[in-house]
Structure 1
Amino acid sequence: MINLNGTIISSNEVALTNENRAFKYGDGVFETIKIQNNKVVFFEDHYFRLMASMRMLRMKIPMTFTLEFLQEEILKTVKADSSGNTTFRARLTVYRKDGGLYLPKTNEIDYLIDVTPLEVKLKEVYTIDLFKDFYNYSGLLSTVKTTNRMLNTLASVFAQENDLDNCVLLNENKGVVEVTNGNIFIVKGAVIKTPALTEGCIKGVIRKKIIEIIEKHADFTLEETSISPFEIQKADEVFITNAIVGVQSVTNYRKKKFSKEVTQKLQNSLRVMSITGG
Structure 2
Amino acid sequence: MINLNGTLQEETQFNLSIKNRGYQFGDALFETFKVVHGKILFLEDHYFRLMASMRILRMEIPMEFTMEFLQEEVLKTVQANNLSNGTARVRFTVDRGEGGKYTPLHKNINYNVVAEPLLTPFYSIDRDKSYEVDLFKDYYVAPGLLSTLKTNNKVINVLGSIYAQENQLQNCLLMNTEKQVVEALNGNLFLVKGDKIKSPPLQDGCLKGVMRKQIIELLLNMGDYEFSEASISPFELQKADELFVTNVITGIQPITKYRKKTFGTTIASLLVEKLNVKIRLS
Instruction: Identify if the C-alpha distance between structure 1 residues 12 and 170 changes in structure 2 by more than 3 Å, giving closer, same or farther.
Output: same
One-letter identity of the residue aligned with 2:258: Y
CA separation of 1:60 and 1:84: change in aligned 2, threshold 3 A: closer
**Alignment-derived partner of residue 232 in structure 1:** 237
Of residues 168, 171, 176, the one that matches 1:171 is 176
Give the alignment partner of residue 140 of structure 1, picking from 145, 158, 161. 145
> Structure 1, residues 61-115: CA drift from partner, whole Å, max 9, x if none?
1111100111011101111113686000000000002100000011221000010
Aligned to 2:265: 260
TM-score (ref. length: structure 2) = 0.96
Q: 1:269 aligned to 242, 264, 274, which one?
A: 274
Check conservation: 1:122, 1:245, Cα contact below 8 A. no
In structure 2, the residue matched to 1:103 is 103
Equivalent runs, 1:191-206 vs 2, <5 Å: 191-206=196-211
Query: 2:183, 2:82 → 1: CA distance?
Result: 36
Give the deviation of 1:122 after TM superposition.
Answer: 4.7
Q: After the TM superposition, which residues 151-230 of structure 1 pair with which residues of structure 2 at under 5 Å, given as runs?
A: 151-230=156-235
Contact 1:137 1:200 in 2 (8 A): yes
Deviation at 1:192, TM superposition (A): 0.4
**Aligned residue for 1:78?**
78
User: Residues of 2 paired with 1:11 and 1:85: CA distance?
Assistant: 21
Distance change >3 Å, CA 157–CA 44, structure 1 → 2: same
- DSSP-derived class of the 2:52 partner: helix
Contact preservation (8 Å) 2:37, 2:84 = no
Residue 19 (structure 1) aligns with: 19
The TM-score normalised by the length of structure 1 is 0.97
Q: Distance in 2 between matches of 1:176 and 1:146?
A: 20
1:85 and 1:119 map into 2 onto residues whose CA distance is 12
* Alpha-carbon offset, residue 274 of structure 1: 1.9
Contact 1:58 1:107 in 2 (8 A): no
Give the letter for the 2:106 counterpart.
Answer: T
Residues paired across the two proteins, number: 277
Displacement of 1:229: 1.0
Relative distance call for 1:85 and 1:132 in structure 2 (3 A) is: farther
Contact 1:29 / 1:54 at 8 angstroms: preserved in 2? Answer: yes
Contact 1:246 1:267 in 2 (8 A): yes
1:225 maps to a residue whose letter is A
What are structure 2's unaligned runs of at least 5 residues? none
Write the distance in 2 (CA, Å) between the matches of 1:137 and 1:274. 34
1:77 corresponds to which letter in structure 2? Answer: T
1:7-46 maps to which residues of 2 (within 5 A)? 7-46=7-46
Q: CA deviation at 1:276?
A: 1.9
Q: What amino acid maps onto 2:131 in structure 1?
A: Y
- Contact between 1:28 and 1:93, CA under 8 Å: does it hold in 2? yes
Aligned ranges 1:117-136 → 2 under 5 Å: 117-120=117-120, 122-123=125-126, 124-136=129-141
Q: Could you say what secondary structure the match of 2:51 adopts?
A: helix
Give me the whole-angstrom Cα distance separating, in 2, the residues matched to 1:202 and 1:84. Answer: 29
Measured in 2, the distance between the counterparts of 1:152 and 1:109 equals 26
Quote the Cα distance in structure 1 between the aligned partners of 2:12 and 2:247: 29
CA distance in 1, matches of 2:248, 2:59: 24
Contact 2:125 2:272 in 1 (8 A): no
Per-residue CA distance 1:201-246 (angstroms, 9 max, x = gap): 0100000000000011111011101110111110001110001001
